[in-house]
Amino acid sequence: MGARKRYFFTAGGLILLLIFLVMVARYAHRANSSSSFENTKVKGPKGAPIQMVIYSDFQCPACRGAVEPVEELRNEFSDVIQVEFRHYPLEQTHPWALTAAGFAECAAKQGKFWEFHDQLYKEQETWAHAPEPIVFFARYAQESGLDPLTLERCLEDPKTLGQIRLERSIGAKQGVQSTPTIFLNGRPLVGPLQLKAQGKNIVLEELKKLASKLRQ
């Protein structure tokens, strides 16, 4: 383990602990999040100082490619990152993205979003090229343990589509033009390559900012 890594787990580790225990509620930077709507598609500690907001499309290959680096970053900084998924289906190029988003949103209503999310991306190359992807979505719903009647009502509810449209609208106002676009405390990264190259450094920079506030 190099000197930089050792530093992170000594002095840096103390900074993280202090931030997490003392400063989170006061200094958590939420410039990239919105309180104007309810979103249950989150994981990680509530009020975490690092907010990762992901605008993604389930039929987008690059979005599938971002799943692994997102998880790697979240696992490395698990105590200080909260991940929030927001829908951004690009229907012009991905004809089944909106339908997939609808199923995923309904899975979220039953507390199964991340299981469904993982299955959609894992099997993307299968369902994205199928003549009737809904058959696969229904199977994933069953495998995820979703109640079929509740799922059916949710898919028919106009509020489901409304939530997806709202999230995409918020993303567009934030400057999202392609997927995946990932915001780390409001700082945008486009695509998995940028996330891999810059994500960790941005997290460390944001934590240093919070540590500086702690000393004030």
pLDDT value at 167 more than 70: yes
Model pLDDT, residue 209: 86
Q: How confident is the model at residue 37 (pLDDT cuts 50, 70, 90)?
A: low
**Side-by-side strand order, sheet with 81-87:** 42-43, 81-87, 50-56, 181-184, 187-190
What is the DSSP annotation of 68-111? HHHHHHHHHTTTTEEEEEEE---TTT-TTHHHHHHHHHHHHHTT
Q: How confident is the model at residue 39 (pLDDT cuts 50, 70, 90)?
A: confident
pLDDT value at 38 more than 90: no
Query: Could you report the per-residue pLDDT of 96-150, keeping only the tens digit for each?
Result: 999 999 999 999 999 999 999 999 999 999 999 999 999 999 999 999 999 999 9
Model pLDDT, residue 11: 43
Pull the structure tokens for residue 74: 């979240």
Model pLDDT, residue 214: 72
Model pLDDT, residue 28: 40
Q: How confident is the model at residue 216 (pLDDT cuts 50, 70, 90)?
A: low
Query: Could you report the per-residue pLDDT of 69-100, keeping only the tens digit for each?
Result: 999 999 999 999 999 999 999 999 999 999 99
Pairing of strands 81-87, 50-56: parallel
Pull the structure tokens for residue 42: 């989150």
The C-alpha atoms of residue 206 and residue 202 are separated, in whole angstroms, by 6
pLDDT value at 27 more than 80: no
Q: How confident is the model at residue 34 (pLDDT cuts 50, 70, 90)?
A: very low
Mean residue pLDDT across the chain = 85
pLDDT value at 152 more than 80: yes
The domains found in the chain, sorted by start residue, are 3-94+159-215 (3.40.30.10)
pLDDT value at 1 more than 80: no
Higher pLDDT, 139 or 30: 139
Buried b / exposed e across 73-112, counting CB within 10 Å, b at 16+?
A: bbeebeebbbbbbbbbbbeeebebbbbbbbbbbbbbbbeb
